[in-house]
Structure formats: structure tokens, C-alpha cells
Amino acid sequence: MNKPIFFVLLCLCISFAESGEQVKIDTLSAEYGDAASQHNLGVMYMMGNGIPQSYPLALKWFSKAAKQGLASAQVNLGSMYKESLGVTQNNAEAFIWYQKAALQGHAAGQNNLALMYMLGLGVTPNPIEASRWWLKAAQQGHVSAQLSLGTLYELGLGVPKNSDEAIKWWRKAAMQGDSSAKKQLSSVGGVTK
């Protein structure tokens, strides 16, 4: 066997062994109540990383971590309820979990909460609240929030209509590589700097 192929196979074996060990470590820590390990285990079950994919088990571990206040688990739990992954779709429940994460300053939670407000999912539609949460997420560099906030300014939804602000937020998203923001900029004559 030549050396490069042997090295690649060795790395793959080590990687598989490490992922198996990580599952064992996270499972033990999760069972003892460690929120980060519970969240990690939820992600592994959600994605099927190192273990068979199981939405019900992902839901179980995200729930445990979310109830302990871990914002990333709250976002993932909200997404499971919104997308009906391992649980009956429940936008009101998704809203609650996104809100908990958003109130902790979690950018993805803020972005998702804004979307719920804008579309009226689990809550009465409120473009002003949507703009408020998208601004918080956009200020943290969340690309989708920057794109959405730019669109709100373009249309005057929840904020005063302001094409300069729209271009500002689309430019920020475009600078992070967002193709939709680049299209928006080119459609209004904005230039990515």
C-alpha cells in the first residue's frame, strides 16, 4: 500500500474512532445534566453525525438543554417545532423558544423571532417588532437578518422607507458573500464595497 493512501485511511479510522468516543463522552455528560453536551448530542442525532439520525432523540436532548437556558439549544428546539421535525408542527411553541434565545442575545434566535413576527407564525403579525429583532441580529453580523432588514427599509415595512438604509444593510450582507444581497444591490445600482 502506498503511503498517501495509507495515511488517508489512517486519518479516516482515527476520525471514526474519535466521533464514536465523542458520542460516548457527550452521552455520559448529557445524562449528568451538562447542557452543552445535551445540545451536542441533539445536534448529532439531528444530523446523524456519528450515530443514526433520530429526530425524537434530538428533540429530547435539545429540550433538556433548552430548559437549562442554553440559547443555541433553544433555537434548535424552536426550529424542530417550526419545521415539524420529530414533533407536530407548533408555531406558538417555536415562537416561545426563539424568543427565549433572542432575549439572551443569540443572533439566530433574533433572526428567527423576527421572521415569526413578520409572517405571523405563532404570534400576531407585527412588522415593527420584526424590524426591531432583525436590527439586533443584523448588528451582530447575521447575514439573513441584514438582507431582511434591507428589504424592510426598501419597502417601508416596520421602518420608514429609506433606500440608503436598505443599501447599507444589503451591502453588509453582500460583503459576507450573500448572493441575494448582491442581486438586490445590482437592481438598485448599489455597489459592493
Q: What are the C-alpha distances in Å from 53 to residues 12, 81, 168?
A: 20, 17, 41
Which tens digits make up the pLDDT trace of 21-64? Answer: 777 888 898 999 999 999 999 999 999 988 999 999 999 999 99
Residue 171 CA, chain-centre distance (Å), reads 21
Residue that the C-alpha cell 424542530 belongs to: 80
Quick one: pLDDT at residue 191?
Answer: 56
Does residue 193 sit in helix, strand or coil? coil
Quick one: pLDDT at residue 192?
Answer: 52
Residue 47 CA, chain-centre distance (Å), reads 14
- The predicted model scores a pTM of 0.85
Is the per-residue pLDDT at 13 higher than 60?
no
Percent of the chain with pLDDT over 90: 80
Domains of the chain listed by start with CATH number:
14-97 (1.25.40.10), 105-193 (1.25.40.10)
